[in-house]
Amino acid sequence: MSSNSQSNKMSHTELAINVSNLGKVYQIYDRPEDRLKFSIISRLRRLAGLQSKSYYRKFWALRNVSLKVKKGETFGIIGCNGSGKSTLLQIVCGTLPPTHGKVDISGRVAALLELGSGFNPEFTGRENVYLYASILGLTKEEINARYNDILLFADIGSFIDQPVKTYSSGMVVRLAFAVVAHVDADILVIDEALSVGDVFFTQKCMRFLRDFKKTKTLIFVSHDTGAVLNLCDRAILLKDGAIEFQGNSKEVVEKYLQKDQSEIKDSNSNYQKNSRKKVDMRLKFINQTSLRNDIELFYCAPKADSFGLGGATIKNVEFLTSDDNLLTWIVGGETVKLEIHCLIKDELLSPIIGFQVKDRLGQVIFGDNTFLSYINNPVSAYSNQNLTASFEFIMPILPMGNYTVSVAIAEGTQKEHVQHHWVNDVIAFKSHSSSVCTGLVGLVNVNISMIADN
In 217-277 the beta strands, taken as DSSP E runs, fall at 217-221, 234-239, 242-248
Q: Is residue 362 within 8 Å of residue 349, measured between CB atoms?
A: no
Within a domain: 68: no
Task: Look up the CATH number of the domain holding residue 425.
Answer: 2.70.50.60
Mean pLDDT, residues 400-424:
90
For residue 350, being part of any structural domain is answered with: yes
pTM for the model stands at 0.65
Express each pLDDT in 170-179 by its tens digit. Answer: 888 889 889 9
Mean pLDDT of the chain: 80
In a domain, 88, yes or no: no
- Cα dist from 383 to 194, 219, 342, 379, 443, whole Å: 42, 48, 11, 14, 42
- Domain annotation covers residue 358: yes
Average pLDDT score over residue span 374-394: 89
Identify the sign of the CA torsion 212, 215, 221, 222.
positive
* pLDDT tens readout for residues 134-166: 988 889 999 999 999 999 998 888 899 999 999
In a domain, 193, yes or no: no
The answer to whether residue 383 is domain-embedded is yes
- The answer to whether residue 298 sits within a structural domain is yes
Q: How far apart are CA 25 and CA 198, in angstroms?
A: 37
Is the pLDDT confidence value at 413 over 50? yes
Q: What angle do CA 407, 206, 333 make, to 5 degrees?
A: 50
The DSSP symbol for 422 reads E
For residue 424, the enclosing domain spans 294-431
The phi, psi pair for 121, rounded to 5°, reads -60, -20
Rounded Cα gap, residues 370 and 353, in angstroms: 6
pLDDT tens per residue, range 88-142: 988 998 888 999 999 999 988 888 876 666 788 899 999 999 998 998 888 999 9
Number of domains in the chain: 1
What size, in residues, is the chain?
454
Tell me, yes or no, whether 146 lies in a domain: no
Q: Residues 388, 390, 395, 399: is their CA dihedral positive or negative?
A: negative
